Amino acid sequence: MSLSGNLARVTDGKMPLRAKVASSVSRTAAALSRAAGRGDGSVIGGWIGLKIDPDLLAHLAAGRAVALVSGTNGKTTTTKLTAAALEGLGRVATNAFGANMPTGHTSALAKAGPTPYAVLEVDEHYLARVLDETRPRAVALLNLSRDQLDRAKEVAMMAQMWRDALVAHPGVHVVANADDPMVTWAAQAATSVTWFSAGQRWHDDSWVCPECGGAIERFQGDWRCGTCPLRRPKPDWVVEDDGVVDPTGAWHQVKLQLPGTVNIGNAATALAVAAQFGVRPADAVKRLGAVTSVAGRYAQVERDGRLIRLLLAKNPASWLEAFDMAEHAPTLLSINARDPDGLDTSWLFDVDFSPLRGRRVLITGDRAFDLAVRLEVNGVPFEHVRTFPEAVAAVPPGRLEVIANYTAFQDIRAELDRVN
Amino acid sequence: MSTEDLRIVWIYPDLLSTYGDRGNMLILAHRARARGIPVHTVEVRSDQPLPDSADLYLLGGGEDGPQALAAQRLNADGGLHRAVARGSVVFAVCAGYQLLGGSFFAKGARCAGLDLLDLHSDRGPSRAVGELAGTVDPRLGLPPLSGFENHGGRTHLGPGVSPLAQVTTGVGNDGVSEGAWRGNLLGTYSHGPALARNPDLADLLLRWATGLSTLAPLDDTWAHRLRHERQLAVQT
């Protein structure tokens, strides 16, 4: 990779000089970071660029038609699917590796150079700021549930932050999950909303109405507040069987290479966002079917005759989805509680691990003992292994499912890259 | 349900269940059944009347809005007060612990608590988040408390209660004492599934609730490894 080439390729003739320099330095730093083996460059470049020009993200986003994707779960996958759908229209800049704060957005846009489109995954906490700076055409709001509670805003506070952000940006079109009362309440602040229904396994963070504090009542997929008028909006896009019904009532089969019903829901969201850019769902579904893995998630790797599949599960809602995706095969669970995971492992007791009964279960990770106590109470027999290679050696050739939380997932991904 | 069953009620999981609070109910039921004690667990939602005849009641943590709502409903219901008057056991964590006192702060306002323990809570200068450890009141005969706390409150104990523990790591009530107990009522800032790391505390609650003076020992290898690991973590 030529650094001077990077410097010479100025992104956009309309950008102010300071932004051009910042963008160029940003790309160079990212390249240096990758070349030095210090990271994938998805954060450092943006960090340096924003130091030089605090408005760099706004300058880089100007002139692009932008879609944002935010929520507790499914952001990275939905971003990748949306970007795939829009690629039929032209080049798309995207933060495909889940670097979802403004530094990551800045790096992604600087690295891509000028593109007509951008699809950005946004950390829930940064939605207001990224709305300010990127002026998106559409923003997809997926779901809100408990996640890293020792650090993250509690769910009701997050919904309020989103609502305030949308009040401040009346022009943006919102694509929102009608099945999540917290998301619905936040999205109702927007003037223009497309509602999708992708189903929801996890309900334990939305029993209290965010509008009035009344009790949310649920019946067969529908929900309403028992006290105030807040209720489930009629969805425009609906998951039905292995496909999606669009607003005209036409059903489109979605053949994904990604496992689980949750990803059909993510596909429905991507189709609804892409429609805001003029992409017809019939055209987009073919592109979604070409997506194979997302930042290592769902990736299958062969090692010593074991076909290893990696599933990321960060919080109670996503563990339920992971059990649905995993095959009936030996399963390794790995749990850490480092900063990016949240330091608190209490959530382990919000997950019912009983679907794993009858499978051979191995456990590892920094906080394997927390998991051991949980599994004992849950009546799930397990074996503790100290390392990932020990787990691989312990199971016979064939499928090994690996379900891990964030840094545990990254650790195992790094181990697998080293042997491939 | 047989009258021989140990009856455990988890109060308002729809309002007070933010941090794996279900764990305390699961752990108590698991440890009782492992001793051959039949258990009947009941989850009572906030729109249902609270039975006053159970042996053991659990209160979990929660956000401000649900906490204030839970206090209103429990005071209006009166079931928990009647149960406590009968001698039932109450184990409360975090927001649930604050609820047991005379008052607490939620959404910037002072709210009336259940007035079952002589304590009141207000806001601290900063949020207490991290490992919590302490030496437990020797009258309870327990090893050190090990937990994780995440709360913005500070709790002031009156003469009618005793601190559960003296803090060695973390904040607890006020940086010095942690939790409180009186009779069969016990509260702690060690949040969520507090009993996962404190199996002896779980057994104390079971002894209170069953009236048994001893319980057969269980294999707590994994819980002890977890406690040991967390002790090392807070020492470094």
Q: Which CATH superfamily is domain A58-288 in?
A: Mur-like, catalytic domain (3.40.1190.10)
Give the β-pairing of A300-303 and A251-253.
Answer: unpaired
Predicted pLDDT at A32: 60
**Residue carrying structure tokens 């706004």:** A58
- Does a structural domain hold residue B198? yes
Of the pLDDT bands very low, low, confident and very high (cuts 50, 70, 90), residue B1 is very low
* DSSP structure class, residue A57: H
Which residues on chain A are in Cβ contact (under 8 Å) with B69?
A: 208, 213
Range of the domain at B184: 6-235
Q: State the DSSP H helix or E strand holding residue A314, giving kind and residue range, or none if neither.
A: none
Mean pLDDT computed over B194-207: 98
Domains A58-288 and A300-419 share a fold: no
Sheet holding B185-188: strands in order across?
Answer: B39-44, B6-11, B56-59, B89-93, B185-188, B177-182, B162-169, B119-136, B145-157
> Residue B128 sits in a domain of what CATH number?
3.40.50.880
Shortest Cα distance, chain B CAs vs residue A202, angstroms: 13
Backbone angles phi, psi at A25, to 5 degrees: -65, -40
Q: How many domains does chain B have?
A: 1
Beta bridge partners of B182: B185
Does residue B86 lie in a domain region? yes
Question: What is d(CA A352, CA A349) in angstroms, rounded to the nearest whole number?
Answer: 7
| The predicted structure's pLDDT at residue B21 | 93
Measuring CA to CA, which residue among B41, B220, B197 is closest to residue B133?
B197
B131 in a structural domain: yes
Helix (H, G, I), strand (E, B) or coil at A120: strand
β-pair type (B56-59, B6-11): parallel
Locate the chain B residue with the closest alpha carbon to A155. Answer: B63
Quote the CA–CA distance of A121 and A175 in Å, as a whole number. Answer: 14
**Measured between CB atoms, which of B19, B30, B148 is closest to A377?**
B30
Question: In tens digits, what is the pLDDT along chain A, a chain of 420 residues?
Answer: 333 333 333 344 567 777 777 777 777 776 666 655 556 666 777 777 777 778 889 999 999 999 999 998 889 999 999 999 999 999 999 997 778 888 899 989 988 989 999 999 999 999 999 999 999 999 999 999 877 655 545 788 899 999 999 999 988 999 999 999 999 999 999 999 999 998 766 677 777 888 988 888 888 889 999 999 999 999 999 999 899 999 999 999 999 988 878 899 999 999 999 999 999 999 999 999 999 878 777 778 889 899 999 888 888 888 988 898 888 999 999 999 998 888 999 999 999 999 999 999 999 999 999 999 999 999 999 999 999 999 999 999 999 999 999 899 999 988 887 543
pLDDT digits (tens, 9 = 90+) for B88-127: 999 999 999 999 999 999 888 999 999 999 999 999 999 9
SS3 string, chain B, reads CCCCCEEEEEECCCCCCCCCCHHHHHHHHHHHHHCCCCEEEEEECCCCCCCCCCCEEEECCCCHHHHHHHHHHHHHHCHHHHHHHHCCEEEEECHHHHHCCCEEEECCEEEECCCCCCEEEEEEEEEEEEEEEEEECHHHCCCCEEEEEEEEEEEEECCCCEEEEEEEECCCCCCCEEEEEECCEEEECCCCCHHHCCHHHHHHHHHHHHCCCCCCCCCCHHHHHHHHHHHHHHHC
The H or E element spanning position A362 is: strand A361-364
Domain membership of residue B76 (yes or no) is yes
CATH number of A300-419: 3.90.190.20
Q: Does residue B1 form part of some domain?
A: no
Strand arrangement of the beta sheet that strand A331-334 belongs to: A300-303, A306-312, A398-404, A331-334, A361-364, A383-384
Quickly list H helices, A170-226: 181-187
Specify if B141 maps to a domain: yes
Residue tagged 């969201």 (tokens): A269
Catalytic annotation present for B191 = yes
Residue of B206, B17, B169, B57 whose CA lies nearest to A346: B17
Q: Cβ of B196 and A370 within 8 Å?
A: yes
List residues of B whose CB lies inside 8 A of any A CB.
Answer: 13-15, 17-23, 26-27, 30, 45-47, 63, 65-66, 69, 129-130, 148, 150, 191-193, 196-197, 222-223, 225-226, 229
Q: Does residue A201 or residue B130 have the better pLDDT?
A: B130
Domain ranges of chain A: 58-288, 300-419
Among candidates A133, A235, A354, A376, which has minimal Cα distance to B27? Answer: A376
What value of ipTM does the predicted structure carry? 0.96
